[in-house]
């Protein structure tokens, strides 16, 4: 099974968590795109979706799915999104696509976070994938120094501006033994909008597409 087939299998399995008439949260990235396409093709008729990025809003709209403002919705029953890494505790690194802040907001507004990944995203300890940190542009140097003090090597994501008008620092070299503590600590640095650790609010379910089928991991 190739990578796309694994992502697609995980994305299709997420349809089991959606009910007719739901307003759901939808994430960003290639696996989330497979989910949007599957939802439009053969999923339950939902009432609408809250998008975690402009790109996702465009894709939802292109399928005729109503895109709603989170401020007009209450708690969402489910949020479906991919990840760059997950560990056995269902903690995640996200933000490879640069949408981490809106992803964290929509995940935080959702009762259940269903994460869809290919098997290559599994790690024992988070940190092999460079940790994305969204930063207010004027704080780039300050935040970089603080990240270096944490043992990381931050690099500006070249030519990239987030949907919120900010920059991303991708941080290599972090061995993330305590994801909740690091997530909380980094978010205290002035100028950090958020970081790509999803541990304080990790996934509730991870659907892992693999050659052997889809594995369901639950908290």
Q: Is 128 in the site for ligand 5RP (CB under 6 A)?
A: no
The owner of tokens 């969402």 is 76
Choosing from 94, 144, 193, 202, the residue that interacts with ligand 5RP (CB under 6 A) is 94
Choosing from 14, 18, 24, 27, the residue that interacts with ligand 5RP (CB under 6 A) is 27
Catalytic: 150?
Answer: no
Of 83 and 208, nearer to ligand 5RP (C-beta) is: 83
The nearest distance, CB 94 to ligand 5RP, in angstroms, is: 3
Q: How many residues does the chain have?
A: 219
Q: Is 98 in the site for ligand 5RP (CB under 6 A)?
A: yes
Kindly name the residue from 103, 134, 153, 218 that is annotated as catalytic.
Answer: 103
> Do the Cβ atoms of 85 and 128 come closer than 8 Å?
yes
Strands 131-135 and 192-195: antiparallel
Q: Which stretch binds ligand 5RP (CB under 6 A): 71-79, 96-104, 165-173, 179-187?
A: 96-104
Three-state SS at 98: coil
Q: Where are the alpha helices (DSSP H) in the chain?
A: 3-13, 30-42, 54-62, 100-108, 140-149, 179-186
Interface mask (CB under 6 A) for ligand 5RP, residues 56-85, using x and -? -------------------------xxxx-
DSSP letters, 124-140, are SSB-SSPEEEEE-GGGH
Q: Rounded distance, CA 83 to CA 96, Å? A: 8
Active site residues: 103
Chain positions contacting ligand 5RP, by CB under 6 A: 27-31, 81-84, 94-100, 103
């Amino acid at each position: 099974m190739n990578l796309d087939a694994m992502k697609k299998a995980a994305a299709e399995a997420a349809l089991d968590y959606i009910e007719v008439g739901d307003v759901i949260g939808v994430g960003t990235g290639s696996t989330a795109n497979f989910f949007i396409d599957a939802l439009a093709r053969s999923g339950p008729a939902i009432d609408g979706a809250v998008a975690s990025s402009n790109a996702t809003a465009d894709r939802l709209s292109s399928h005729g799915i109503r895109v709603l403002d989170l401020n007009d919705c209450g708690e969402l029953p489910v949020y479906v999104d991919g990840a760059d890494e997950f560990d056995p505790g269902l903690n995640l690194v996200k933000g490879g696509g640069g949408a981490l802040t809106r992803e964290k907001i929509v995940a935080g507004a959702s009762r259940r976070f269903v994460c869809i990944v290919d098997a290559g995203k599994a790690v024992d300890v988070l940190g092999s994938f460079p940790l994305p940190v969204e930063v207010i542009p004027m704080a780039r140097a300050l935040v970089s120094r603080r990240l270096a003090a944490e043992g990381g090597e931050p690099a500006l994501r070249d030519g990239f501006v987030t949907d919120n008008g900010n920059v991303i620092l991708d941080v290599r070299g972090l061995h993330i033994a305590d994801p909740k503590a690091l997530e909380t600590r980094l978010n205290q640095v002035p100028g950090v909008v958020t970081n790509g650790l999803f541990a304080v609010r990790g996934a509730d379910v991870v659907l892992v597409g693999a050659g052997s089928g889809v594995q369901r991991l639950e908290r």
